[in-house]
């Protein structure tokens, strides 16, 4: 630390602009995997993968935490299925995940408003955006599946459903 000479003594030329860490708002976003790292679970008995998804339009980012090694076989399977879904939707086809190859992949993510929480001082904080718990990812080239909250009131298909499979409805006689 040098002597203080006021603002005129500060040179900002070698610094990058702060990109911010704002949370993505609820909705469907096309993102890039900007960071992925393996860390210990809260109880230090397993490992989780933290994947940071940054919106391509600069709206913010979300982090998805996935149990990839856990004493609970169910939690581990859920985490690994979630990871596979993320990677498949992003176009990654190798059966073994590789963090270096994951970074830079594009994927669509459905974001929901996270629950409020309490900080270390007991103060209530507003929850940020987070990937929804069910079916959070979609291929960035395709149309995102509608979220439960934004599903149309009436299905658009002629058979009463909004998919392309032409099921026939049973008629009562």
Q: What is the pTM of this model?
A: 0.68
Residue 104 bridge partners (DSSP)? none
Could you tell me if residue 148 is inside a domain? Answer: no
Could you tell me if residue 12 is inside a domain? Answer: no
- Distance CA(61)–CA(34), nearest Å, equals 9
Q: What pLDDT is attached to residue 126? A: 87
Q: What pLDDT is attached to residue 81? A: 93
Q: What pLDDT is attached to residue 2? A: 66
Q: What pLDDT is attached to residue 19? A: 54
Specify the CATH number for the domain of residue 136: 2.40.50
Could you tell me if residue 2 is inside a domain? Answer: no
**pLDDT digit of tens for each residue in the chain (173 aa)?**
567 777 777 778 887 665 555 889 999 999 999 999 999 998 898 999 999 999 999 999 999 999 999 999 999 999 999 999 999 999 998 888 999 999 999 999 999 998 988 888 998 988 889 999 999 999 998 655 444 443 333 344 444 444 444 444 444 44
Could you tell me if residue 165 is inside a domain? Answer: no
What contacts 127, CB < 8 A, 6 or more positions away? 113, 114, 115, 116, 117
Q: What is the DSSP string of 26-64?
A: SEEEEEEEEEEEEEE-TTSSSEEEEEEEEETTSS-EEEE
- Distance CA(149)–CA(151), nearest Å, equals 6
Name the DSSP letter for residue 120.
T
- Provide the domain limits for residue 66: 23-115+123-141
Q: What pLDDT is attached to residue 164? A: 45
Domain count, the chain: 1
What contacts 46, CB < 8 A, 6 or more positions away? 40, 67, 69, 70, 71, 75, 76
Could you tell me if residue 48 is inside a domain? Answer: yes
């Amino acid at each position: 630390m040098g002597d203080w000479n006021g603002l005129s003594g500060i040179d900002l030329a070698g610094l990058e602009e702060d990109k911010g860490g704002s949370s993505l708002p609820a909705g469907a976003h096309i993102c890039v995997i900007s960071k992925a790292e393996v860390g210990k679970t809260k109880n230090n008995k397993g490992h989780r993968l933290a994947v940071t998804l940054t919106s391509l339009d600069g709206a913010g980012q979300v982090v998805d935490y996935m149990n990839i090694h856990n004493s609970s076989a169910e939690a581990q399977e859920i985490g690994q299925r979630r990871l596979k879904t993320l990677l498949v939707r992003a176009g990654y086809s190798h059966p073994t995940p590789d963090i270096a190859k994951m970074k830079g992949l594009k994927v669509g993510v459905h974001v929901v408003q996270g629950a409020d929480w309490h900080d270390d001082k007991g103060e209530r904080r507003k929850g940020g955006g987070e990937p929804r718990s069910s079916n959070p990812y979609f291929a960035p080239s395709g149309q995102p599946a509608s979220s439960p909250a934004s599903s149309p009131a009436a299905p658009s298909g002629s058979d009463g459903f909004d998919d392309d499979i032409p099921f026939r409805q049973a008629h009562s006689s």
